[in-house]
Structure 1
């Protein structure tokens, strides 16, 4: 880092860095091909999954290019009138004109007389090309000329697909707008300057824009699909992580400006000190994210790839563009609280004028003796809140550790309500038409009426396969259909709500029944929407079990190399895991008792763990690398107090900002993104306000020099500590 810091040794070299950065960004924007982005997430199942095999085989069937839009008519809980029934019949004629199988569009009335449905077969290729147009045509034809009080709502595959696409419509812009506003406000509050916040926000904003372009350009060659949800998480992560790195560098730069009149020397010292921590913490996040390439779900691989690229770009901008921009702008950027060297405080002319003269010159000194920096605490730091907190924790480390661990354990009790798997109607916030229509079907018809469960059986055993399906608990009906290439499709209707635990149990029983039957029928495959959702949930569990240990191993290795210790990584990882379980428990309680979410989405646990552990390590690195630096002069105990005094404010600011940025995910009406945002928000706040500020220092005070084992602590450090 000392070599790289030479790029900021003068105004001329700093302007050159900015110019080269701008040129590189412009060339990338101009030359990289425009990538594609899907409007809604795909399942991303591996080809070995049973439902994926069914989907592949069905593509060769005559009716492969068929999907269905289901229109539900109702008056709430009131019975349909004769006029209503006549209107439904009239709407059936108009909807039949839109269908690929007009004769199949026939009204079906519920036994209780409160609802009617029309199933409209459509070309799946046409729907896929423009789902919004297909859904709008169905809604328009269904709602035209209805009697007052009678409503028509679209559900089924087409309805849900359109509502999911609408949930992500404009997602990039909404997330970007809210994120920028949140970051801007928090930076203004943090810096207490009407000017300074503009520079880091502009740098991070440029990083976010470039990350989106680079990710979309590279995703297609790697066989990955970046959907709207991945783009949203990418922006949030780049802004959150990039702003964190900016806060750390600016804080250290500001600190050094109080020790020297030469802002270029101050930046070189800050860069040499904070740069390794930024590179190590960002590298840990990127390496943790890249582990998702080992996942079985393709959307998990796409998320890991996209976010890893985004973090790397954020690091580059934080270590290249930001320091150059800061020194070019000069000390006035911090107005009205301009940092001065202590000797210059209060001076009018004299020393103060000398300071300004030094700042405007084209510094070209070659001596680097001052670049190591004077890490003495300022009077404000020595008497400040964080130094006082550190000394209070040092006096009672056992009591503080027990209290902090007990608090985290209490929050973890919320895990007693932990459950995974959301039904189809529970995946979107609010009341989109597809969800409210499905609720009408659940009330007046079979809950599984709108789901598509398809069984592919050997034609020679099709009759037996139908009988086995009808005899399986949870199956309402089974009807043999088309035959192709030695297999017969069987349309199966389940009694449970689509993608619910009951539907998954029915799929498992059906698969087990065929497997246990033996003979030719044992090769029967079960697919369809419920089977796909079940296989996706199982694949997510597999990915979670595979990726989490790899992430922990990476974090341990990075901490061990950076801190040159084997004890410190174990304690730091234990603290991060405690934070994760506490935040997951608190969030589960919140979801269950306040927000009404029955369970977590299948990928939420993995993503929350990834972001919390990887980003939580950032704060570990920021604190402990500074503690190690201070330890070399003052010993382990005093070194940690000084590290907390120096970094406590910036870590707290960074944590609050990161928590707020992830909470922004809640602006989208998608339960999974809201859950990720809430869990990470709570976890980062716990990590920042409890774990990093009191628990980790208490653990260091308890273990003493053993915290750095096997690194030997020099005798002079013990002497410094004893004093």
Structure 2
């Protein structure tokens, strides 16, 4: 077989490896990383960082219109006082006193306590300014909670809910999140690298390089956040960190595997690394380019949260691939071969992978392609059937894995008062239409009350309380009916409030999926065409990757619905899972088929090329898949349902891609297609015809 020493050694990154050059590259990389981490500005933060609400949504326009009202700069926090027995006059007096204390401390007007019909619950509204930073909002909510709970009569408890309290609890989810996520992720990566390399110290080099890359990526995201004024929160930085560690370590595994292979062919470790970089870089750059372009496609999303994930994730992947292809080769060549101890690859050693487990898997699959393919596809399609019953749109009380105080208080409030009391619907109309709007709202099914509020010559407010639980499916249906009724009497009216925002978020998510998924599919197809130069290969690989995504989403939904008891996925979950699984999942097919193409050019044997490619890449790709799945599962350390759902779907989907699609489906397809798999490139023609 033709030696791969004949491959193109002029790949630019390969020239950065050398006895003196490696030391210089490593030092320059560390200096640049240190400067970025030291001088990066603080990011823009805020309660809107995780918002899925587009700026042009009706509820957002309603909020903007109502901001013109004299007292529009406040959002109510609700203090819910509860007792097992009906509250006495003394209890209500003590509650009123707590309200007076809050009024003095915050310099606001606090409503008198409003008892429920059974007398066991009382409600106080405390206005909180809108547009505050997360820190200021948290401080005010903390003051309300401390003051409201102080010196209450025995048996009376106080809890705080409302939008400011929910934002504060959401922020508390991410207190210390960076440290927890970093420790958990680094620990998982360290363990899996030790198992993969069976060396007491080799794992330290890639983990250190990618770990520094993760911190640099975080600071670059902070810089973009500050410069372009887009807010970030723990969910944004958490997902970005997982992408950097997962993808960065994948690229490191592929490069190190090729380096170890080349060390058996070269006496010089620098020559071996130059060949490894030349051979691995095209696959790594094409796969990372697919991920980056897929993430950048999210910038066209209506949902601000999704577009921010796209920007920060693309930055993270770009930094990860830079560290994997520039800093890591330098760091790996400085120590020498002993870094692989006790399994040191020597010049002239035979590569054991050519007759190992994955070689036998490849021979088995290509010997029985039809039965293997039919069974695999049947399994994938069966798992994908779960998508048919998928529901999206979690209620406000379902956003957290651990129920925070604001959600507990909301449930107490909903049991004693109309469910929508803590999240009233607000309608922006005109002064001359206010009576007609109130009447139309009152006649709408599911509306508990509709009352006129403030007004100016430009805008008037109508406050509506609906009966359904906030952000539930029933609440969404009632908002649709309310909008229809209101627009009949005032086409220019705008219906806003939390439930209307939830409806608009669901609408935006549906629009984003319909727009972005085709764009990403075109990106994946285009990248596969560029890398493999084969229409057949590009179509088959992208189709198998999409089927793998649908299978993971279907199984994930069965778990969420039947095991975890979640009523739906978050509105962002299907789209983000698609981006991560299709863009990252196609990596493994790229790594496999790029190597198969290399073997095909050398031998002209389509079946033998895919068997050899699976033999030499199977171990590293499986390790990379397991590692990436484990890293995404680490998102579960953050008690937010969205991140847990992403961790489950992406983790399972990556394993499915690694074990079924890359190891079974792709080799079977190559065997069945033969040379036609590479059509219309020259590889599809017999060697004598080229």
Determine the C-alpha separation between the residues in 2 that align with 1:449 and 1:508: 18
- Which residue of structure 1 lines up, in the alignment, with residue 70 of structure 2? 62
Alignment of 1:358-377 (within 5 A): none
SS at 1:522 equivalent = coil
Match of 2:554 in 1: 585
**C-alpha distance in 1 between matches for 2:522 and 2:273:** 34
Q: CA 1:618–1:516 in structure 2 vs 1: closer, same or farther (change >3 Å)? A: same
Q: Are residues 1:405 and 2:412 paired?
A: no
Task: Tell me what 2:3 maps to.
Answer: none
What is the alpha-carbon distance in structure 2 between the residues aligned to residue 220 and residue 389 of structure 1? 51
Q: 1:92 is matched with which residue: 96, 99, 116? A: 99
Unaligned runs of 5+ in 2: 1-7
SS of residue matched to 1:329? coil
1:463 is aligned to 435
Match of 2:407 in 1: 435
Does residue 1:490 correspond to 2:462, yes or no? yes
SS class of match (1:482): strand
Per-residue displacement from partner, 1:407-449 (whole Å, max 9, x unpaired)? 1122123224310001111111112111111111222221111
Check if 1:244 corresponds to 2:221: no
Deviation at 1:161, TM superposition (A): 1.4
Q: What is the CA deviation profile of residues 377-427 of structure 1, one whole-angstrom value per residue up to 9, with x for unaligned ones? A: x46323311000111101111111111111112212322431000111111
Instruction: Give secondary structure in 1 for the equivalent of 2:160.
Output: strand
Distance 1:550 1:186 in 2: 34
SS at match of 1:481: strand
Cα 1:67–1:379, aligned 2, differ >3 Å: closer, same or farther? closer
2:59 alignment partner, one of 31, 51, 59:
51
Which runs of 5 or more residues in structure 1 are unaligned?
344-377
Q: Which moved more, 1:1-10 or 1:664-673?
A: 1-10
| Aligned counterpart for 2:502 among listed residues 508, 533, 555 | 533
Q: Is the 8 A contact 2:69 2:459 kept in 1?
A: no
In the alignment, the residues of structure 2 paired with residue 342 and residue 182 of structure 1 have an alpha-carbon distance, to the nearest angstrom, of 34
Instruction: Measure, in 2, the Cα distance between the counterparts of 1:669 and 1:174.
Output: 12
Shift of 1:337: 1.2
Are the aligned partners of 1:107 and 1:116 in contact in 2 as well (CA < 8 Å)? Answer: yes
Deviation string for 1:251-297 (max 9, x for gaps)? 11111112222211211221111111011111110011111111122
Q: Report how far residue 151 of structure 1 moved.
A: 1.8
In structure 2, do the counterparts of structure 1 residues 514 and 81 end up closer, same or farther at CA, with 3 Å as the change threshold? Answer: closer
In the alignment, the residues of structure 2 paired with residue 92 and residue 523 of structure 1 have an alpha-carbon distance, to the nearest angstrom, of: 38
Mean alpha-carbon deviation: is it higher for 246-255 or for 504-513? 504-513
2:491 alignment partner in structure 1:
522
Aligned to 1:425: 397
Of the three residues 286, 300, 312, the one matched with 1:280 is 286
What residue is the counterpart of 1:334 in the other structure? 340
1:448 aligns with 2:456: no
Deviations 1:440-494 (A, max 9, x none): 1222221111003111111111111110111111211111111123221111111
1:192 aligns with 2:209: no
Partner in structure 1 of residue 5 of structure 2 = none
CA contact 1:496–1:503 (8 Å) conserved in 2: yes
1:60-459 matched pairs, under 5 angstroms: 60-75=68-83, 79-80=86-87, 84-98=91-105, 102=109, 104-124=110-130, 130-342=136-348, 378=350, 380-459=352-431
The answer to which of 218-227 and 595-604 deviates more is 218-227
Mapped contact 1:497–1:503 kept (Cα < 8 A): yes
Deviation (angstroms), 1:40: 6.3
- The alpha carbon displacement at 1:22 in A equals 2.4
Superposed CA offset, 1:631-656 (max 9, x none): 12231100000000000000000000
- Provide the C-alpha distance between the structure 2 equivalents of 1:423 and 1:716, rounded to a whole number of angstroms: 60
Instruction: Answer whether contact 1:8 1:267 (CA < 8 A) is retained.
Output: no
2:26, 2:287 → 1: CA distance? 24
- Of the three residues 505, 509, 515, the one matched with 2:481 is 509
CA distance in 1, matches of 2:22, 2:143: 58
2:536 is the alignment partner of 1:567: yes
Judge conservation of contact 1:127–1:134 (CA < 8 Å) in 2.
no
Q: Distance in 2 between matches of 1:186 and 1:79?
A: 58
Which of 622, 629, 632 matches 1:652? 622
Q: Distance in 1 between matches of 2:386 and 2:522?
A: 27
**Cross-structure match for 1:13:** 21
Q: Provide the secondary structure at the position in 2 that maps to 1:523.
A: coil
Structure-2 change in CA distance of 1:32 and 1:72 (3 Å) = closer
Q: Which SS does the other structure have where 1:221 is aligned? A: helix
Check whether the contact 1:393–1:400 (CA below 8 A) recurs between aligned residues. Answer: yes
Moved more, 468-477 or 438-447: 438-447
Q: Distance in 2 between matches of 1:199 and 1:126?
A: 43
CA shift, 1:35, in A, is 3.1
The residue matched to 1:645 in structure 2 has which SS?
Answer: helix
Distance in 2, Cα, partners of 1:57 & 1:711: 59
SS in 1 for 2:449: strand
Change (3 A) 1:236 1:39: farther
Distance in 1 of aligned mates of 2:499 and 2:65: 17
Q: Give the Cα–Cα distance (whole angstroms) in 2 for the partners of residues 686 and 431 of structure 1.
A: 32
TM-score normalised by the chain length of structure 2: 0.95
Distance in 2 (CA, whole Å) between partners of 1:295 and 1:204 is 29
Give 1:132 shift. 1.9
Q: Using the alignment, how far apart are the partners of 1:217 and 1:10 within structure 2?
A: 33
The 8 Å contact of residues 39 and 168 in structure 1, kept in 2 or not, is answered as: no
CA contact (8 A) 1:106 1:118 kept: yes
| Structure 1 residues 166 and 448, CA gap change in structure 2 (3 angstroms) | same
Query: Aligned partners of 1:618 and 1:639: how far apart in 2?
Result: 19
Pick closer, same or farther for the CA change 1:242–1:499 going to 2, 3 Å. Answer: same
Against the structure 1 CA distance between its residues 139 and 127, is the aligned structure 2 distance closer, same or farther, given a 3 Å change threshold?
farther
The equivalent of 1:347 in structure 2 is none
Cross-structure match for 2:643: 673
Q: CA deviation at 1:716?
A: 6.7
Query: After alignment, is 460-469 or 130-139 more displaced?
Result: 130-139
| 1:26 match | 34
1:638 has 2:646 as partner: no
Distance (Å, rounded) in 1 between the aligned partners of 2:87 and 2:561: 36
Contact 2:13–2:325 (Cα < 8 Å) also in 1: no
Post-superposition CA distance 1:566-618 (Å, at most 9, x none): 00011101111111111001110101111111101111111000000000011
Number of residue equivalences: 680
Change (3 A) 1:574 1:286: same
Match of 1:698 in 2: 668
In structure 2, distance between residues paired with 1:404 and 1:79: 63
SS in 1 for 2:122: strand
Structure 1 residue 299, shift from structure 2 partner: 2.2
The structural deviation recorded for 1:42 is 4.2
